[in-house]
Each structure stands twice: as C-alpha cells, then as structure tokens.
Amino acid sequence: MARITELNVNGARRRIDADPERSLLSVLREDLELTGAKYGCGEGQCGACTVLLDGRAVRSCITPVRAAAGKRITTIEGLAAGGRLHPVQQAFLETGALQCGYCTPGMIVAAAGLLRQNADPAEQEIVRALDGNICRCGTYPRIVQAVRMAAKTSKEARRG
C-alpha cells in the first residue's frame, strides 16, 4: 500500500512519509512532535492516546495512520482556539480534575468528543463515554464534575 504523505492535523496540512500500517499515535508523537497523546497500554485499553478523527474519539495506538488519511485529526494540542482553552480544559483546571496528569490529554479529548456529539450529557452518559479512559490516580469524580462544568459553560457561551 502507498505510503501516507499528508495528514490534516489540528486544522493544518502536515507532510509526512509514513508506512500506512504504523500507528497514528507513533506518527503524531515521533514524526509530528505532537506528544500530548500518550502511550499507555498500546492495546486500545486505557485511552491515554485518544484523539478525534472527524470529531469522534479513537484510540490512536491501535489506529493505523492510513485510517486517518483524509480525515480531520484533532489532538489535545489543537483544542484551544483563539488563545482560549477549550471549555473542557478550563473545567479540568478549575475542578482540579487531574493528579499525575498522564491520562489527562486522553480524558480531555474524549470529553471534548462527547460534547460534540451530545452538548448536554447526563452524568451516566459522561461515565459511559469515559468508561474506557483509565485514571490510575482515581480522579473520576472530579473528571465527571469537570465535564459537567464544561457542558454548562459551553451552553452558556452558545447562549451568550
């Protein structure tokens, strides 16, 4: 299969030269120096590597880069816009929804993906959407609180 030579990452066209079967995570981290998405398990089980593909959360460690070609890739580095943090990032800061921080980029990206699909999720929907993202420090209650806060502030921003 032909090598992958271009990706659309965080709104920009990025030139690469990658074997199509390489993981999207390795291309992001090693070729494009976007190290926000983390390598945790490497098997699709922890969510540390979560990025958005056309707005949907995927595990980039088990996604071949060929599957991302021609799609919009959003990493944690691309969430802030116009000098302002994404509402989920802001809410994580305000609620202290992190401890060691290793899972945080994946959690935030997964939550941002959820809010794109569902602007006002119920607590159970947040829990279900983030169920596959593992936090070994156990900050889950504050993470859920942060996502609820982000949904609320996003709603208020849309209204205002």
| List of residues contacting ligand FES (CB under 6 A) | 39-42, 44-49, 59, 61
Residue nearest to ligand FES (CB): 61
Shortest distance, position 131 Cβ to ligand FES, whole Å: 13
CA-closest candidate to residue 115, choices 82, 149, 84, 85: 149
- Give whichever of 35 and 42 is closer to ligand FES, judged by the CB atom: 42
Shortest distance, position 136 Cβ to ligand FES, whole Å: 12
- Give whichever of 48 and 115 is closer to ligand FES, judged by the CB atom: 48
Residue 88, classed as helix, strand or coil, is helix
Shortest distance, position 46 Cβ to ligand FES, whole Å: 3
Residue 83, classed as helix, strand or coil, is coil
The one-letter code for the residue type at 77 is E
Residue with token string 């900050």 = 139
Shortest distance, position 69 Cβ to ligand FES, whole Å: 19
- Give whichever of 42 and 66 is closer to ligand FES, judged by the CB atom: 42
Structure tokens at 124: 């159970």
- In whole angstroms, give the CA distance from residue 79 to residue 103: 16
CA-closest candidate to residue 10, choices 26, 27, 34: 34
- Give whichever of 90 and 99 is closer to ligand FES, judged by the CB atom: 99
